[in-house]
Structure 1
């Protein structure tokens, strides 16, 4: 390229690019200042969001300390025989212990077939299975045993389940089980299901054995009278007041009898007794037994005196006693007796238990059917019928006794378990339930029955002090984190960060970047002061309260009991926990500590005071929508938007300015190049002329 040739922006002979860049650096100062402001706004916004996160976490922590689900109301349950029975205690369960003896757990029918071929084909037909009131009914087109099991399970839901157990390479056993426990939830096979169960050797035919307890004066015994109040004119219970005709038995007022159960029924675990009865009112025998007095108590006639033809008579004696006949009637007339309890089961030790209404069902004819499982009455020996009433007559059918397992016409051949209710003893009372999860024996306690107990289990309900301790320690940790964040943002001292030894190196570096960011921000310093005042205040929730401050339970700025004097960490408001003191306080003053964090001061059943309540209210004003932090971040968001707009505008102006400068300096460079070219031409022309003159 010739020395005199210059292309603007390429050769940059006159350094115009550097000149333009120098001029633009000056022009960019407002832009850089605004970009720095924007970065500051964003960091401040992130800092406020960090404060919001710390305060929200602290708020959640204190809410859990005084809300309905506070840990101070948690209960722990333990069982001395956990293999057999465990318990879950609700928040309203009373502290203490009680004994439970498991006589038998609830079980379901689980029937196993004999060995069958793995490739067995299940015949088509309508297969019906029922468990209690639930029925599984489906049409099977025929096919492999595996497919049949799959089809049955698909329809069984929570009622029945089938599974195949491999016995050998070519043999399997079919297990069909009820998924519902309880004596009333027996597994019943019907239609093709019954034939299939018999074919696979799961069940076999069983002859139903039913025995009628026929009443006769020879076989029946007269039961004890057992009146609560003895009355001379009321006859004792007697079988002479019982009449039998055909299958009906009439028990007149003050009649009764006792019939022993057959030995086969007594020995059976599934023995049952059923009968029906009606009641009707008759003339009360107390009206017939009123005895009129044989003697009457009479007062003597009044005396008189006569003198000289004038007689003076005394007035009759005035007595507050009723007439003699009325006195005797009141003394002799018996009191009517009315009782709804007529039927009892007597055990081999002579103890009687009433057959209560849970065994009764009424039919459309007004008769009441009684159906009693003798397994509910251990060692049942006899049926006692005692009509203690003086004005009621009972008519009943002859009781029928039978083995419930054989009443369907079949019995399992390989029963893994049979349907039965759970039976427990609580406070000496035998209780039966159809399930192993029982929540209606002990208030607010659910018992879980697993096995029969070898000895009575001791169930303890105790306060869950460990969860309360964890919640308090969590609160202290969240409180310190919130205070630390406020200290970092409001104080420009490196030791603020260095003394927080729980921070990682990366967290410390970020904390140093935020150090003193809001120095002079009074909302932060005031907020920290308010929190410190709340946790150090006295809360006397009752006149006899002995725990009214956090420091009394081992939570304070000097809980560790260090040397007295100035401590920067303590002066900054961080709390410490003396775990030993806290454990002792929770053990002895759990309810008072609960009130310390939240209590009702005006009796309206709404918590309105306490450390937790006050911190919650204080922090709500910060973190709620439209609160202090929201206002700060929204204000910064507006500044960020304005700053972005200003940066865009300045950038546009700078681009325009730079383009203009480049254009002007390019023109200038072109002009200079042109002038140089003309100068060079003129110089050459002059040189040529000088050469000719020589």
Structure 2
């Protein structure tokens, strides 16, 4: 009995200290499990903390609201920035009213690329001669021809490059020339047929002064027929310049499905050859067009007439295009025989013997192009008798010229112009690109306003203006739904989110006012956007207040009447430009206009430390404040939990002591009963 009494006294003394120690810890203690009283006070604490924690949800809700508001403001800022940039581009250095486009009656000969602000007008151009580079080839060589080592120098103008070739195949020589002298020439190997190839060297520059000189040890070049010191003596020789029969120019262009012919008389001998220099280019195939067959004619079946649309609306036209007809020259002889000259696209130079027709006359020559997407330019067509007698030249020169370095010669409105390049930039305010030549043809060119760029720029600007007005109307719409922003579905969060915001309402109203107010221009008859076909409502249109048109008018949405706009641009492009931006005091700075006003008010909102920047700063401060208050609330909530656990721990302790005393009393009673 004494032992039991000592144990009971020990527990009664120790348990209060242990409970107090455990309660001082900030970790959650399973009080019910520790005391084992059967009363679950832990769930009671959790429920009370949960109820108290709901008081802090207002901070999180406000943070959510402000995050949504900031996202909406960011979207407004992005759109205002885009609107500002489009507005400024209507009157600053990017103004579409300064764009120019060039037109040519024959772009295969001349193309015009005007600069911005170029004078509008017409120019007549005749191309007498294109600028050409020095270009020449070797004699035909067997594929795989080996070249011995040699050292030579290539010179153009004042640039010279020494090349020390160690020997090898033709392609190796080409690679070394292109590696060392790439600034002045382009070298290549051109395959003529399955067995032969030629070395081609062409200057990178055109013009009379861009002649190519090859000096040093040129013995290998002489062996392969690239250079020569021999020249045919034209005395007693017979030759015919075939191109001179067709054109007074230096070359002849045969377009797709083109054919020309001339009658002549030229006696063929055993030494007669035809020599051809040309270039062949492939053009893109025409696009397949759809044929509209929706309007089907009526069909009578027996005594019934059937009408209606076709079950299909379009079908494709399938056409076979010819791209491999390379018989470009046809010679007809006095005995009726015909000889077709086949020119491969890889053959810029061709020499063909006509000795098999000895004793007969050529009576007709036909130059033809039977292809749909191929063009050929003849630079030289000569028929002559090969002369055995030669003259020795003092210096080496190319043996087989494709073209000689020469200047471009054009006539602009009758004035002769000679330049070293085919891109002539100092005659008009822009570039004249010489692409072909025809001494007999005068090409009409014109510089005009770029009406497409102007209308596209106006359309893009007005479209962005409308986007901004629609969005501002949406976010400033009076609130009907009183739910918080975070409670609404995503598609409804923006509507009315800034219904009481003065700054956004002011922005919307001022933008609408800018679209309606008059502006100073060079014409007293054109002062409003309405005058150039841009309006919220046509004055001749009756307005139904329940229609979509009324909603557009109410929101300030602008409509473009393209026909009126184009007419006004055609009548006076400068007045249309003035509507968007105009310099009223001639100081070269735009100071009024619809686009000018729109750009300025956008700047007020999106500039550094502007209205939107301040709004975002305020929102950031609110978010920061609520985060801090929520953090403090969380600390208080944790303290509240600890307080509850301490209180309920004491309750559990009292219950435990009460139960212990009761058990002790019951045991005492049992002991007394046992003695009896």
Name the counterpart of 1:619.
602
Residues 687, 577 of structure 1: CA spacing in aligned structure 2 closer, same or farther, 3 A cutoff?
farther
Name the counterpart of 1:277.
none
Residues 13, 483 of structure 1: CA spacing in aligned structure 2 closer, same or farther, 3 A cutoff?
farther
Secondary structure at the aligned position of 1:66 is classed as: coil
Q: Distance in 1 between matches of 2:115 and 2:71?
A: 43
Is 1:207–1:410's contact at 8 Å kept on the other side of the alignment? no
Residues 649, 148 of structure 1: CA spacing in aligned structure 2 closer, same or farther, 3 A cutoff?
farther
CA shift digits 1:106-152 (9 cap, x unpaired):
11122222334554444444332122232223444444543332232
1:563 aligned residue (505, 525, 542) = 542
Task: State whether structure 2 residue 102 is matched by structure 1 residue 77.
Answer: yes
- List aligned pairs for 1:62-141, cutoff 5 A: 62-141=87-166
Name the counterpart of 2:629.
646
Name the counterpart of 2:385.
none
Number of equivalent positions: 477
2:422 aligned residue (419, 436, 439) = 436
2:526 aligned residue (547, 556, 561) = 547
Is 2:213–2:397's contact at 8 Å kept on the other side of the alignment? no
Residues 169, 676 of structure 1: CA spacing in aligned structure 2 closer, same or farther, 3 A cutoff?
farther
CA shift digits 1:61-106 (9 cap, x unpaired):
1101111220012112111101111111122222221211112221
Residues 172, 13 of structure 1: CA spacing in aligned structure 2 closer, same or farther, 3 A cutoff?
farther
Name the counterpart of 1:628.
611
Q: Distance in 2 between matches of 1:562 and 1:658?
A: 71
Which segment drifts farther, 113-122 or 578-587? 113-122
**TM-score between the two structures when normalised by the length of structure 1:** 0.64
2:397 aligned residue (397, 411, 417) = 411
Task: State whether structure 2 residue 182 is matched by structure 1 residue 199.
Answer: no
Which segment drifts farther, 454-463 or 557-566? 557-566
Secondary structure at the aligned position of 1:514 is classed as: coil
Name the counterpart of 2:562.
579
Gaps in structure 2 of 5+ consecutive residues? 1-28, 234-391, 482-487
Task: State whether structure 2 residue 430 is matched by structure 1 residue 451.
Answer: no
Is 2:32–2:39's contact at 8 Å kept on the other side of the alignment? no
Residues 176, 678 of structure 1: CA spacing in aligned structure 2 closer, same or farther, 3 A cutoff?
farther
Secondary structure at the aligned position of 2:89 is classed as: helix
- List aligned pairs for 1:165-184, cutoff 5 A: 165-167=190-192, 171-184=196-209
Name the counterpart of 1:395.
none
Task: State whether structure 2 residue 67 is matched by structure 1 residue 42.
Answer: yes
1:520 aligned residue (485, 488, 500) = 500
Name the counterpart of 2:516.
536
2:82 aligned residue (57, 65, 68) = 57
Q: Distance in 2 between matches of 1:479 and 1:604?
A: 28
Residues 100, 657 of structure 1: CA spacing in aligned structure 2 closer, same or farther, 3 A cutoff?
same
Residues 672, 156 of structure 1: CA spacing in aligned structure 2 closer, same or farther, 3 A cutoff?
farther
Gaps in structure 1 of 5+ consecutive residues? 1-5, 210-405, 496-507
Q: Distance in 2 between matches of 1:97 and 1:452?
A: 20
- List aligned pairs for 1:85-484, cutoff 5 A: 85-167=110-192, 171-192=196-217, 194-206=218-230, 409-442=395-428, 444-453=429-438, 455-484=441-470
Residues 461, 545 of structure 1: CA spacing in aligned structure 2 closer, same or farther, 3 A cutoff?
farther
Is 1:97–1:460's contact at 8 Å kept on the other side of the alignment? yes
What is the aligned-residue RMSD (CA, Å)? 2.9
**TM-score between the two structures when normalised by the length of structure 2:** 0.65
Secondary structure at the aligned position of 1:86 is classed as: strand
Is 1:112–1:175's contact at 8 Å kept on the other side of the alignment? yes
CA shift digits 1:216-256 (9 cap, x unpaired):
xxxxxxxxxxxxxxxxxxxxxxxxxxxxxxxxxxxxxxxxx
Q: Distance in 2 between matches of 1:134 and 1:605?
A: 47
